[in-house]
Amino acid sequence: MTHKMDKQAQKPILILGGTGKTGSRVAHRLTQQGISVRIGSRKGTPSFDWNDSTNWKSLLQGVKATYITYYPDLASPGAAEAIRSFAKLAVENNVRRLVLLSGRGEEEAQRSEKALQDLGADWTILRSSWFAQNFSESFLLDPVLKGRLALPVDGVKEPFIDVEDIADVAAAVLTDNRHIGQIYELSGPRALTFAEAIEEIVKISGRKVHYTSISTEQFISELRQQGAPQDMILLMTELFTNVLDGRNSHVVSGVQHVLGRKASDFSDYATKAAATGVWDA
């Protein structure tokens, strides 16, 4: 019995998107705890690609749990179908413990959540607010560096979350079966408009950045001029218009509930991000 339990404990946790913003941090935390991890990414061995299921089964062999992040976003066309196919294969291969990173108030993301629930997996769902790290590690970095962030959002507040908090929650949840069957809503402790978030970044980094609210038509036209592909334009428009309509402006307590401590404030994130030099000229 003990031998069987030891073997189970030694099995790796598969991290899809394991080199991404949350996945890399989850992998780091688990490794620090002595838990072995297997990274799912197109550069991994074997490689993992959401658009090609050839290697999915071999990646799942001998795994005890999986952290699932989709790329680029659960609101992208085909995301729910891909999540459903992957989760089905996981359950068929005895990998029942699945933790999904989802988005707050996103109807499309809920289709992916339902896939896990329908399949009878031992699921936990983390519904996250917008990441603070979008300003330093993702699509909002370039506008910050160029000094102009223009979005079709005016006055809507969002309680940006530090992805370090998401990683702490995910690592806790992946290693404790008491979280099975739970949906946790995760946010930062303070809601800010995009203009206020930029003001904090300006104050802390000393960089000149201007936030401007533009119409959806102008937003689409600017994305086209920058050469963004049509599916990315559709995704951005969906996220900035439908999802950012104020439905997620309230602060939620998932981080406190799971970790027993407060979520980090945006200003702490901005201070740490500035110290890495990411916003330097």
Ligand X SMILES: NC(=O)c1ccc[n+]([C@@H]2O[C@H](COP(=O)([O-])OP(=O)(O)OC[C@H]3O[C@@H](n4cnc5c(N)ncnc54)[C@H](OP(=O)(O)O)[C@@H]3O)[C@@H](O)[C@H]2O)c1
Binding segment for ligand X (CB under 6 A), chosen from 49-57, 90-98, 149-157, 194-202, is 49-57
* Out of 17, 159, 188, 189, the residue judged to bind ligand X by CB under 6 A: 17
| Minimum distance of ligand X from residue 213's CB (angstroms) | 19
CB nearer to ligand X: give 166 or 225.
166
Q: What is the DSSP-derived secondary structure letter of residue 12?
A: P
Residue 255 touching ligand X (CB under 6 A): no
Tally Cβ neighbours within 10 Å of residue 68.
25
* Out of 14, 98, 101, 274, the residue judged to bind ligand X by CB under 6 A: 101
Residue 21 touching ligand X (CB under 6 A): yes
Residue 20 touching ligand X (CB under 6 A): yes
Q: How far is CA 146 from the centre of its chain?
A: 25
Torsion angles phi and psi, residue 212, rounded to 5: -135, 135
- Count interface residues toward ligand X (CB under 6 A): 25
**Residues 130-149: x/- map of binding to ligand X (CB under 6 A)?**
xx--x---------------
Tally Cβ neighbours within 10 Å of residue 2.
6
**In contact, 267 and 275? CB cutoff 8 Å:** no
Residue with the closest Cβ to ligand X? Answer: 20
- Measured CA to CA, the distance from residue 11 to residue 182 in angstroms comes to 23
Binding segment for ligand X (CB under 6 A), chosen from 71-79, 148-156, 217-225, 250-258, is 71-79
User: At residue 100, what is the residue type?
Assistant: L
Q: What is the DSSP-derived secondary structure letter of residue 238?
A: I
Binding segment for ligand X (CB under 6 A), chosen from 63-71, 207-215, 223-231, 266-274, is 63-71
Measure Cα distances from 249 to 160, 188, 235, 274 in Å: 9, 11, 20, 25
Listed in sequence order, the residues at least 6 apart from 246 whose beta carbon sits closer than 8 Å to its beta carbon are 156, 157
| Minimum distance of ligand X from residue 8's CB (angstroms) | 26
- If you count them, how many residues does the chain have? 281
**Residues 202-221: x/- map of binding to ligand X (CB under 6 A)?**
--------------------
Tally Cβ neighbours within 10 Å of residue 6.
9
Q: Segment 103-122, which members bind ligand X (CB under 6 A)?
A: 103
> Where on the chain is the footprint of ligand X (CB under 6 A)?
17-23, 41-43, 48-51, 69-71, 73-74, 101, 103, 128, 130-131, 134
